Amino acid sequence: MDRMIYTALNALTNQRDQRVTQAQNLANQNVPGYRRDLNNDGKAFFADALNTEMVRAFQTETGPAGFSEESGPLQQTGEALDIAVIDDGYFYVRPDGIGDPALSRRGDMRRMADGTLANGAGDMLLDVNMNPIQVPVYREIQITDIGEIWVDPIDADPNEPPLLVGTLASVIPTPDQKLLKGADGQIRSPDGTVPPPNQLAKLSQGVLEGSNVNTVEELVNSIEMQRSFELGIRMVSTASKIDEAGARLLRSPDA
- Among 41-45, 108-112, 202-206, 225-229, the range scoring the smallest mean pLDDT is 41-45
pTM above 0.85? no
Q: Select from 209, 226, 242 the last residue of a domain.
A: 209
User: Do residues 106 and 147 both lie within one domain?
Assistant: yes
Residue-wise pLDDT for 90-133, tens only, equals 999 999 878 899 999 999 999 999 999 999 999 999 999 999 99
User: Do residues 135 and 41 both lie within one domain?
Assistant: no
149 domain residue, yes or no: yes
24 domain residue, yes or no: yes
User: Do residues 83 and 198 both lie within one domain?
Assistant: yes
Number of domains comprising the chain: 2
User: Do residues 139 and 237 both lie within one domain?
Assistant: no
Residue-wise pLDDT for 54-67, tens only, equals 555 555 655 666 89
User: Do residues 87 and 173 both lie within one domain?
Assistant: yes
Residue-wise pLDDT for 160-215, tens only, equals 889 999 999 999 999 899 999 988 889 999 999 999 999 999 999 999 999 999 88
151 domain residue, yes or no: yes
User: Do residues 204 and 94 both lie within one domain?
Assistant: yes
User: Do residues 114 and 36 both lie within one domain?
Assistant: no
Residue-wise pLDDT for 2-20, tens only, equals 566 666 667 677 777 778 8
Give the confidence band of 38 by pLDDT, cuts at 50, 70, 90.
confident
Note the Cα 32 to chain centre separation in Å.
12
85 domain residue, yes or no: yes
User: Do residues 82 and 196 both lie within one domain?
Assistant: yes
User: Do residues 110 and 28 both lie within one domain?
Assistant: no
User: Do residues 79 and 192 both lie within one domain?
Assistant: yes
Calculate mean pLDDT across residues 71-97: 92
User: Do residues 199 and 90 both lie within one domain?
Assistant: yes
Provide the residue type at 192 as one letter. Answer: G
User: Do residues 228 and 195 both lie within one domain?
Assistant: no
255 domain residue, yes or no: no
| Residue 235, domain extent | 2-67+213-250
